[in-house]
Structure 1
């Protein structure tokens, strides 16, 4: 399975030490050692920017050994923390990281990224505090999280919510996670689509997630990656519209105008002003980061 991970084109590969490994010390130890040996092999491992490790939760007997061994591997820089319910969980994680780094000096503190997995009703109630967490240890991790991730199946198990294909029952929770992440400048990673063979449904769920404000989505199977990556970037039509807005507003501002009317293909003329400029700038920024072509605009 570790070797198969090298063939996926996903932006990040999450190596799981939690649910995919049986809950025995022998199995957890074997998984840690296998992963460490695999990632020490510089000839085959993914680049550090694509590596993340999902640890066992802080209240399990496996957490301390998970994080201690992972911190010894230089290429592991991102940790996905399951079952984050409160600030106490994050403070426990930061304490373990700082203690290990101070003792061993194996990894620069500022190279570590933490992603909190939101999996329970309690986590939703504490979401603002979790997203706004600052380490008690000052400079650790820049003092905050880098992202929120929604674990829908665990959340449904905790809350007795019944997941359906409409996703209606998760709308409030997903919206809360995406909005809170944006409020604190964090990445917002949407839930897994469990219907991994139905790519049409996956695309629908991706569009839904992007419309809610999520910046990415978890994949549970390699066949999902292409659909997710192609959906979580602006379409050619969105990019063209954004490029037109920025070009026309630049002309308007040079003429001391604060708003313009923009003719939209197959639609009415839209009134464009400052908020829509910001939206257009965001679209162009994401398109450029994804290496997509930006059509040049001329008078």
Structure 2
């Protein structure tokens, strides 16, 4: 599986030491040792694409994961499972300062939201700042939703409609946006049903998520193609920006466009759409006045 990761085209590859590894000490030690050796390779993905999910801080494996794995400069992102509060992040921060190296750029920390307590404390998790130097202890860069763990903790029964998770997912997005973080949506467990995956991606993007976890390489293309603006959205955004520039030149604060009244909030949305499209390398049409 480690070898296969070299050919995956996802934005980030997460090497998992937690749920994908059996819970025995021998299995955990073996997985950690193999990953440490693998991370020394010269043909790894770019460091910005490499993340590791370590065992949670309540386990006896947490300290060794931090000491052994985070010594690698190839890792720029750390996924932390079962973060329930800001206090948990302080605990992790102290471990990072004690055992990991100082980096040229801060380690990105992604707390995994997977319990009722985590959702209750979502604001303090999203706004967390370390009491130590960020060069040693890292910064929170995103919130990740682990739906299966969350449902197990809350007794929520997950369905194909996702209705029962609407409140939780919306809260995660709002907290992430409030503090300038990315919001990563839940895994689609129906990994062979790509039509349903697309539906779930469209739903997540509409809620404000900026990305989605994949559990199989076949999911990557669908996720990447869905979490970017459509050609229709890009064209509309370009028209809005063009129309508003003309309106402002005429000292107008709003303008009608194709039956809609366009004003300042809508131009902010349009500009964001164009920024995302440009970052994704999508074509942005030139709009002219007829």
Question: Which band: TM-score by shorter chain?
Answer: over 0.9
**Whole-Å separation in 1 of the counterparts to 2:16 and 2:138:** 25
8 A contact 1:2–1:38 mirrored in 2: yes
Equivalence map 1:97-246=2 (5 Å): 97-101=96-100, 106-108=101-103, 110-140=105-135, 144-246=139-241
Partner of 1:76: 75
Tell me how large the CA RMSD over aligned residues is.
1.2
Partner of 2:16: 16
Residue 88 (structure 1) shift: 1.4
**Whole-Å separation in 1 of the counterparts to 2:95 and 2:190:** 37
Segments of 5+ residues of structure 2 without an aligned counterpart are none
Does 2:64 correspond to 1:65? yes
Equivalence map 1:34-73=2 (5 Å): 34-42=34-42, 44-73=43-72
Normalised to the residue count of structure 2, the TM-score between the two structures is 0.97
Residue 139 (structure 1) shift: 3.3
Does 2:284 correspond to 1:289? no
**Whole-Å separation in 2 of the counterparts to 1:157 and 1:24:** 22
Relative to structure 1, the CA distance from residue 70 to residue 143 in structure 2 (aligned partners, 3 Å threshold; closer, same or farther) is closer
Partner of 2:7: 7
Normalised to the residue count of structure 1, the TM-score between the two structures is 0.94
**Whole-Å separation in 2 of the counterparts to 1:273 and 1:229:** 30
Partner of 1:26: 26
8 A contact 1:152–1:192 mirrored in 2: yes
Q: How many residues align?
A: 289
Residue 143 (structure 1) shift: 6.3
8 A contact 2:238–2:284 mirrored in 1: yes
**Whole-Å separation in 1 of the counterparts to 2:134 and 2:167:** 34
Q: Out of 256, 262, 265, which is 1:275 matched to?
A: 265
Residue 142 (structure 1) shift: 8.1
Relative to structure 1, the CA distance from residue 50 to residue 139 in structure 2 (aligned partners, 3 Å threshold; closer, same or farther) is closer
**Whole-Å separation in 2 of the counterparts to 1:189 and 1:221:** 16
Structure 1 segments (4+ residues) deviating >3 Å: 138-144
8 A contact 1:110–1:142 mirrored in 2: no
**Whole-Å separation in 1 of the counterparts to 2:139 and 2:97:** 14
Relative to structure 1, the CA distance from residue 163 to residue 23 in structure 2 (aligned partners, 3 Å threshold; closer, same or farther) is same
For each residue in 1:165-200, what CA deviation from the matched residue of structure 2 results, as whole angstroms up to 9, or x when unmatched? 000000000000011100010000000000001011
Partner of 1:253: 248
